[in-house]
Structures are given as structure tokens and as C-alpha cells.
Structure 1
């Protein structure tokens, strides 16, 4: 009697293992493909988000910068009618008395700016036909303990490196007391190796020297067409306060004084007087700008 062939357990087991292995490999391929698809989708979302952020930064509208200036200046400086982007734009510069004030004064023409990166900080270039005809460069460098603003003037003159000049009447936009004085004349600003430093604790320091010249000043409070010209020297000390020194260049109104700008704010002591022949014309102005002491008016700030 012929015997039935007996099954091979080893071959049967090997076949089952091979089938299982093929199924597992197929499943792993599906899992790998699904993971790759999900990873690609995630990278796609990240790429879209990064592209959106880069686009917003590259084409951020100028009103964003205008709003930052308003907040930083507590509403005293406005970039009105701003156009362009944060990086390249223009606006009309307006001084105001702050939020809720009705006083405002605008400079003629538009201020143009270019903002970019340099030396680990921001490079801001300003130019305005009326007041900053030669481009003025400001380099802002944030550091761990301080933020440094370096002024790089575009042109030098007899008074040093010229930073700009502005009409004194622009100050009326700040409100009291400027809207009462109604000043006329021109304010010239120059500097030498000038840099402003804000420490982490909020203290302002200055390196270098700045000079403010008030040229051919006048006031509606006086019948004189011209009060005179004056100079304020601002000197920074590496470890000390910023010192102020006011002197008269010429004119019927004589001004002098000293002060400093330190952690507790500005402190200034000075006096104003009139030449003998013009005392009557300047009497009203002397009563307003300080505390009268005989023929003099004592000016105290801080």
C-alpha cells in the first residue's frame, strides 16, 4: 500500500514566515510613505509661514513705523501721510503737545528714510530738503547691557559736523510754553563723534559733543524784530552726566546758564537780562521766561 507523502513542517513554516515578512515590509513601506507625506505637509506649512513672515517684514507698510514713533514719543512726534514701507518710505513730520493736545506744527516737505542692517544693528538714513539736505546716518546697535546710537553726519562745516537745521517756529507744535513764546529764527545742530547710550537701567549717557545754535531768534512777546543768537554746548562724559552750557553770541536779550542731564532728569540754572537800551522792549518777555529778580530773570528747570 502506497504511503501518503508527509507534509514538511519546516517548509510550511518558512512559507508562512515569508508571507508575513512580505506583509510587514509592505506595511512598513506604507508607514514610511505616510510619515514622509506628513513631514512634507508640515514642512509645507512651515515654509508658508516663514514666507508670510518674510513677506510681512520685507513689505511692512510705513504706517507701522509711524505708529511706533507715536508710541515711543508719547504722541509728541507724528509721521503723517506716511507712504512706502518700514524700510524705505517718507512722511510729513509733525510736532504736537501730546495726546489730547490741539497744538501741532509740521515741517515743510517730506522726510525720507532708508532702514537696513549694518554691524549687528540697524542703519537709518534720513534726508529732508528743508532741514536735513545732506543725508544723516544713525546706527543703532543693541547690546546686552545697553543700546548705542551713533550719529554719522554727512557733511562738516565751520561749527563741526552739521546734523541739520530747523525753523524755531516748529516748536510751537509742542504746546506750552512754546506756543506762547511764538519763536522765530533757525535752530542749527552739529556734533563731533556723537553717540547716545541707553543703559539697561534706563540711564542716558552721551559720548562726544553736540552744539545747538539758536540763530536770529525772535518772539511775538517782544516788539523787537530780533532778540539775538545763542549757543548751547552739550558735552558727554563717559562715566558722568551730560553737561549743558548756554551763552549769548549777540543780541539785546542776554542769556547764560549751566546744567546737566542725569539719571534724575534735567537740571538747569540760568538767567536772562536785557541790554540797557532795550529793557523796556523786553520787560514782558523777561517776566514770562523766568522769575524776576530786579533787572534779571532767573531760569530754573528741575
Structure 2
């Protein structure tokens, strides 16, 4: 009996080494697809990773923007999101990943995730305006062209709740449905607080003047705003204004969206 216990104690360190080695190999070989739901969950389905390749340890995917969890009309950003994952945190069930975009993101961001939630560090990136069509109305109708910059604060996801701010700056926008080029420059601020969010639209400059405020909650989305034309562009923007909303006067329309 004593000899048997001694043999067990002698073999125990090697058993532990074998178990840890096997776990390490399994973790490093996990496919890249294992991490793609993390970003989608943290951003309520608006930002996704598509076509993943490689592994959790070292991989890449295409960045996709969508109007929500329905990705049928989503758009893809040229280039690839690439990532490197820290090894030691994986042993405790903690994903710590450095990410960057090969063509649009000048500085890398950090994604940290556990079972209970995830955090994406603050960052910024430039994207083509055509990418915004994946977010749905009104971008898919206007087919915008111009320079778009996305910037965000640290983004936290806890269960089904998210917290963070996304600012979209649209510079020198033009549209296939208007002869006025450019229409103007605008700012959209999405503030997410738990299960709800607010959306604010304002005009920085331009012939087409847009402003409004909206709220987003599970199962209910609403936006109320106005669109009007600068005096010198009223005639040329009349058709676009009629397309955007219901007339509230000779030079303005109501921007209303309820779902």
C-alpha cells in the first residue's frame, strides 16, 4: 500500500504536466470562429466579424456592419481585422486580444472577454460612406458618398446589456439622389446605457440641415427630427426633402422613424 502511494505521488507531477499541456494545445488551436460572437454581443449585433480564419491565438476576419442581429443587408469593410491573443489569461478563462484593421484603423484596440461580459477599448477608424448602407434606413436609401470617421469610448457588455458611446462623423456627404454636392457634414452620436440607447443627429455645416433625437430599446425604436434646406439650395433640394419625410412647411420635412 505504501509503495503504491509512493508511485502515485511520483507520477502525479507528470499527470499534471500532461493535463496542462493538453489544455494549452486545445486553447491555442481553438478556431477563430469561437471568438466572433463576442464582438457581436458587445455591440448588439451592429458590429460583427465575418469569414474568420486562423485561430483564437492568431487570426483574422472581415468587419461587417449591420442594422442589428439581422445581417441580410450588412456591408463589409475592405481589408481584414487581425488579432493576437495573450496566452496566460486563457488558462483562467479570460480572453485578452489585441485587434487592428489593416486598412482603416490606425491604432490597435484591446478586447477583453469573460463568461459574464466583454470590454472593447476606445478607438477610431475611417470607413467608406458606402459601408453605412448595412445599417439600414436612411443610409441604404441615400447611398451616401464621402468621408466617414467612427470613434468610440470604451465599450462594455454585461450579459445582454451594453454601455458605451459611438460617434459617427460624416464629412462632405453627397448622395446619388441629389444634384447638390456636397450636401454637408454631420455628426451622429449613439449613447448606449444598459438595455436602451439614444441617438442624436446634428449638422456641422452644409446646404442640407439635419437634426433629431431617437431612442432604442428592445422591441422599440423611435426617431424624431427635421430636415431643411439652406435658402440658396431650396429649389435643388426639394426632391430630396420630399424623399426624406413628410412636409412640415415650405422648406422642411419631418424625419420620423418608429418600429
Q: Which TM-score band (shorter chain)?
A: 0.7 to 0.9
The secondary structure found in structure 2 opposite 1:133 is coil
Residues 74/247 of structure 1: CA separation in 2 closer, same or farther (3 Å cut)? closer
Counterparts of 1:140 and 1:71, CA distance in 2: 11
Larger radius of gyration: 1
Matches of 2:221 and 2:134, distance apart in 1: 21
Rounded to whole Å, the distance in 2 between the matches of 1:104 and 1:241 is 22
Among candidates 133, 137, 146, match of residue 110 of structure 2: 137
Unaligned runs of at least 5 residues, structure 2:
none
| 1:152-205 C-alpha deviation (Å, 9 max, x unpaired) | 44xxxxxxxxx22211101224555533321111222334xx3344455x3444
Counterpart for residue 149 of structure 2: 188
Please give the residue correspondences for 1:12-31 in structure 2 after superposition, counting only pairs within 5 Å: none
SS of the residue 1:281 aligns to: helix
What's the TM-score once normalised by structure 1's chain length?
A: 0.64
Contact 1:126–1:132 (8 Å) recurs in 2: no
Aligned partner of 1:124 in structure 2 is 97
Q: How many equivalent residue pairs?
A: 250
> Structure 1: 5+ residue runs without aligned partners?
1-27, 154-162
What's the offset of the Cα at 1:230?
0.7
How far has the Cα of 1:148 moved from its partner?
Answer: 5.6
CA contact (8 A) 2:62 2:80 kept: yes
1:6 equivalent in structure 2 = none
Q: Which residue of 1 aligns with 2:75?
A: 105
Q: RMSD of the TM alignment (CA)?
A: 4.1
Residue range with higher mean Cα deviation, 133-142 or 71-80: 71-80
Q: How far 1:241 sits from its partner (Å)?
A: 6.4
| Alignment partner, residue 12 of structure 1 | none
Q: Where do 1:156-235 residues align within 5 Å?
A: 163-174=124-135, 177-191=138-152, 194-200=153-159, 202-206=160-164, 210-234=166-190
Relative to 1, partners in 2 of residues 1:70 and 1:267: Cα closer, same or farther, differing over 3 Å? closer
Match of 1:87 in 2: 57
